[in-house]
């Protein structure tokens, strides 16, 4: 076999090998999880705030800033890992921002609720930080969705109106991963309901002065 023929044979073999790599059995597909439908907060008979509400992009450090789902190896949650092929459609920082924005908008507590407004315009500005958002095994063999968030609302003058850390745990209905994702947002909705109540109470105290 001459050199040209040898090169042609080598190139053809490499092409076949690369083509075969695209169909290697046993390689898992990526799975993407969306948010379930948002929960409903109590609707105010009339707007409680006279200025708009701006919900900013949530902050998160380390694992919680990524799209990969996070899980713990033990009930204490002392050792955390990320799934390799199970991802959120967007980072939790964006998903939770959108969820809170929609829930507050549908609760009709302000003239309008948005995620974007000029800094020069007076508004109640809400910021959030994800401190825990993970799947945790239980001693009974099931799974718990554990969520911790810091939520803060600032008045138009920049002073804090409310600033609290909220925690919620919701047990998944079964051991499927999608059930845990639903439980994570159910826990988030519990937190948002507490934050909504605190926000209304803080405004009531503001007007009572």
- Residue ranges and CATH numbers for the domains of the chain are 53-61+97-208 (3.40.50.10610)
Do the Cβ atoms of 143 and 175 come closer than 8 Å? Answer: yes
Structure tokens at 46: 């009339």
| pLDDT beyond 60 at 110 | yes
Do the Cβ atoms of 200 and 124 come closer than 8 Å? Answer: no
| pLDDT beyond 90 at 78 | no
Residues whose CB is less than 8 angstroms from the CB of residue 31 and which lie 6 or more positions away in sequence, other chains included: 85, 86, 87, 177
Q: Tens of pLDDT along 155-200?
A: 999 999 999 999 999 999 999 999 999 999 999 999 999 999 999 9
Give the up-direction half-sphere exposure of residue 107: CA atoms within 13 A in the CB hemisphere.
Answer: 24
Structure tokens at 161: 């109106």
Share of the chain above pLDDT 90, in %: 78
Mean pLDDT of the chain: 89
């Amino acid at each position: 076999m001459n050199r040209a023929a040898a090169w042609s044979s080598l190139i053809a073999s490499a092409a076949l090998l690369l083509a075969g790599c695209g169909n290697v059995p046993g390689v898992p597909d990526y799975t993407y999880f969306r948010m379930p439908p948002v929960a409903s907060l109590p609707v105010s008979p009339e707007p409680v705030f006279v200025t708009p509400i701006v919900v900013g992009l949530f902050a998160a450090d380390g694992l919680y800033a990524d799209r990969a789902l996070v899980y713990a190896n033990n009930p204490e949650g002392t050792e955390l890992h990320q799934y390799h092929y199970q991802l959120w459609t967007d980072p939790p920082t964006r998903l939770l921002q959108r969820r809170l924005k929609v829930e507050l908008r549908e609760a009709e507590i302000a003239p309008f609720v948005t995620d974007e407004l000029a800094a020069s315009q007076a508004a109640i500005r809400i910021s959030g930080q994800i401190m825990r958002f993970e799947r945790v095994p239980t001693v009974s063999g099931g799974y718990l969705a554990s969520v911790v968030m810091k939520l803060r609302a600032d008045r138009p003058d920049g002073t804090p109106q409310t600033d609290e850390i909220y925690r919620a745990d919701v047990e998944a209905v079964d051991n499927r991963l999608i059930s845990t994702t639903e439980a994570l947002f159910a826990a988030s909705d519990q937190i948002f309901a507490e934050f909504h109540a605190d926000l209304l109470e803080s405004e009531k105290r503001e007007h009572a002065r």
